[in-house]
Structures are given as structure tokens and as C-alpha cells.
Amino acid sequence: MTQHSDLLIVGAGILGLSHAYAAARRGLKVKVFERSATPLGASVRNFGQALVTGQPPGAMLDLARQSRAIWGHWAQVAGLQLKRNGAYLFARTEAEEHLLEAFCAERAQEHGYNVELLQGAAMRDLYGGQFRHHRAALHGRDDQQLYSREALPALIRYLREHLNVEFHFSTLVRDVEPGLLHSTAGSFRGEQIIVCCGHDYQTLLAEALAELHPSICRLQMLRARPALNLNLQHALLTGLSCVHYGAFADLPEAAAVQAQILREAPHLHEHGIHLLISPTPYGELIIGDSHDYGLDASPFNGEQVDNWMLELAEQTLGCGIQVVERWQGVYGARGPGPFSFVRAAPGVSAALMHTGVGMSVGPALGERNVAALWGEA
């Protein structure tokens, strides 16, 4: 049994690290336990888009704005690369353009979204005309872009070296109980324990997590090299994302976008395909994604799904692309809300995402949950 800590955290994904940061910056003594030798979960398999624009007004928008500031701070102190130019969401059709116009005319103004709608000459001039085959582009100026597979290790280094967070990698946590955590590296005492286990609902607190009726979402992802040197500095989305993201999906104009997808490209709806493109720091692109919901993640990737995504990406970019890497990512989905903070027992809680925006809101969730546990107003 080792010496006492203030906070023990299970999981070194973005939620675990965000809670670790929130506690350590308050001067608390923190230990993090991760079963793999380096984080390999959703937090390194994603697009690294820290999106503010796509969030619905209310709690998610507030959390995304707060998270944006935290990412900005981490970029400075932890030396992680963060693109702060925003994202472009392209309207390919008249229905998509109407939806973006409606969003800018009302919701964006009412809730202070930091956006600009590029049309006409502004659209044609973007990236030297590379995207002129689109009708319009919504520039979400607050959206940020990271390279997650490098950002998480950089954040871990910072937490370890500057905030004295102790990490135990290659360590499975087998059980937690009030004040005690039992792992393959022994047992540890802590005033508070927070389980940030991603979509593993069975190893720890299984009964409490089962009450949330969570499921998972499995996504196919690609890294690719464009045939042209685009020097892309913005994350890219298309109108397809508007029927998924809460900022747009409930606007009356979204119905026409959805109807057009069902009429003209039902396979995109069937496989939950909506195109996201993230530039890496090395001139490559992360491209996805598809959405396959269930209780478990099928290991079998559909080649046709990759082909549809590649076709969409080539249409959007206006150039050919060559795939250099393929993988699948899984995130927790469809719980009672976009996220949960479960108080399972005195001093034992779980922080979980139930939708695919943990990079966008996770940093602020860590702040919120740690403040609540330590009785701050």
C-alpha cells in the first residue's frame, strides 16, 4: 500500500488527463493509472478537432468555449501544436447553403458564435480557388485543431514534469472502492477516485455504468496524402455534418438537407458517413468518418465505406489522395445525455462521454467535476 493521494484517476485519455490537470493545478496530489503503455483509446484515434461552432447552445457550447481556452493554455505550457485558424464547413448544395444562412442570421447572433459565412468572391478566393466548387463556407473562427497522437503524450509530459502528476502505465485497475484502488501494480489510497475509462463499461463500476444504458460508436478512419500540396491550415467539414451537430441539426432548414441525403445518397445515411478532414502538422490529412452504433465494436472494416469517404474527400479537396494508414476508433455513445458524472460510492465517481466530442469539451468537464468534488461553488 503506497502513500496517500488526493486523487486517483483511472484512464489517461483526454478525460483522465483533463481531471488530472484540474486537480494538480489546484495543488492536489494526483496519480493516473493507464492499462496500456501509452494512451491508445479514442483520444488518440480521433480528428483532433476541438470544435466550438458545432456545439448546441447551452451547456455544450459553454464547455467548448471554456475548453478552447484550456487548450490554448496547454499549447503554450506543454508545447503541443494547436492550429487556431478555425474550421471551414462547406455548403455543397442549395439546401446546405440555406441552412448555413439561417444559422448565421439567427442562432449565431443570438448565442454569439464567432463565425463568418463566405460566399461569392470570398468563397472563390479561398486557398487560391481550390474550393471554389462549393457554394459557401462557414468559417468557425473559434474551432481548433490538434494532432492527438502527439498532443496527448505532450500533455502527459507536462503534467508529470511541471505539475508532479504520477503516471502508472501498463497498469490495469482491477477494482475501486471508497478510498482504495486495486491495480496490477498494487493497491493505492486516495481521498477521491475518478474512473475515466472511455467505453470500457465492464471492468470497473459495472453495475453503476449499466444503469446509464451506454453503447458504443465505431468509426472508420484514414490518414492520407493529397496529390497537391494544399498547405491546409484549417479543419474541413461539409454540410453532411450539419445533420449530426447540435448547432444546426434542430434548425428547420436541416430537414431539407437530411431529405436530400436520403434521396440522393442513402448509403451515407445508412453508414453515418459525414466527411471531416483534419490537417496534420506534416501536410497529411486525417479523413473520416462513419458511424456504426452497437453494444460492441465489430472488428471488420467495410472497404466500401472507406471508398465512399475517399470519394467525398477527393470531391471536397478537388484533388486525388493516397491512403497511408487505416484504423478504427470507438467512443462511448448514447447514454442519458452527452456526458455523465456518476457518483458511484463515497469518494468514487466516473466521468464518461456519451457522444463524440470529448476533445472539444473534455478539458472543461475536468474543471467542472474537480471543482464540484472539492466543494467549490
Ligand X SMILES: Cc1cc2nc3c(=O)[nH]c(=O)nc-3n(C[C@H](O)[C@H](O)[C@H](O)COP(=O)(O)OP(=O)(O)OC[C@H]3O[C@@H](n4cnc5c(N)ncnc54)[C@H](O)[C@@H]3O)c2cc1C
Closest CA to 151 of 60, 259, 71: 71
Among 7, 8, 9, 16, binds ligand X (CB under 6 A): 16
Residues 264-303: x where in contact with ligand X by CB under 6 A, - otherwise, as a string: -------------------------x--------------
Q: Are 351 and 194 in contact (CB under 8 A)?
A: yes
Q: Are 273 and 124 in contact (CB under 8 A)?
A: no
Kindly give, in sequence order, each residue whose CB lies less than 8 Å from that of residue 200, ignoring residues fewer than 6 positions away. none
Chain positions 181 to 210 lying near ligand X, rule: CB under 6 A, are 196-198, 200, 203-204
Q: Distance (Å, rounded) from C-alpha 232 to C-alpha 305?
A: 24
Q: Toward ligand X, which CB reaches closer, 123 or 222? A: 222
Q: Judged by CB, which is closer to ligand X: 146, or 321?
A: 146
Measured distance CA(141)–CA(127) in Å, rounded: 16
Residue pair 166/30 in contact (Cβ under 8 Å)? The answer is yes
Where does this chain touch ligand X (CB under 6 A) — which range of 7-15, 89-97, 107-115, 206-214? 7-15
Task: Tell which positions 319-348 bind ligand X, by CB under 6 A.
Answer: 329-331
What is the contact mask toward ligand X in residues 100 to 139, using x (rule: CB under 6 A)? Answer: ----------------------------------------
DSSP secondary structure letter of residue 320 = -
Nearer to ligand X, 134 or 223 (CB): 223
Of 156 and 254, CB closest to ligand X: 156
Residue among 8, 19, 23, 34 that touches ligand X (CB under 6 A):
34
* Rounded Cα distance, 78 and 152, in Å: 10
**Binder of ligand X out of 9, 19, 28, 39 (CB under 6 A):** 39
- Among 47-55, 104-112, 206-214, 307-315, which window interacts with ligand X (CB under 6 A)? 47-55
Contact status: 221 vs ligand X (CB under 6 A): yes
Among positive and negative, which fits the CA dihedral 273, 279, 283, 284?
negative
Query: Residue 189 and residue 181: Cα distance in Å, rounded?
Result: 6
Q: Which residues pair with 341 in a beta bridge?
A: 351
Residue from 23, 41, 100, 364 that binds ligand X (CB under 6 A)?
Answer: 41
Q: Cα dist. 231→47, 278, 279 in Å?
A: 17, 12, 8
AA letter at 333: A
Residue 144 Cβ, how far from ligand X at the closest point, in Å? 10
Return the C-alpha cell found at 124: 472563390
Per CB under 6 A, which region of 30-38, 80-88, 237-245, 301-309 contacts ligand X? Answer: 30-38
- For the purposes of burial, counting CB atoms within 10 Å of the CB of 107, is it exposed (0-12), middle (13-18) or buried (19 or more)? middle
Please report whether residue 10 would count as binding ligand X according to CB under 6 A: yes
Interacting span for ligand X (CB under 6 A) from 8-16, 90-98, 236-244, 258-266: 8-16
Which residues are at the interface with ligand X (CB under 6 A)? Answer: 10-16, 33-36, 39, 41-43, 45-49, 172-173, 196-198, 200, 203-204, 219, 221, 289, 329-331, 353, 356-360
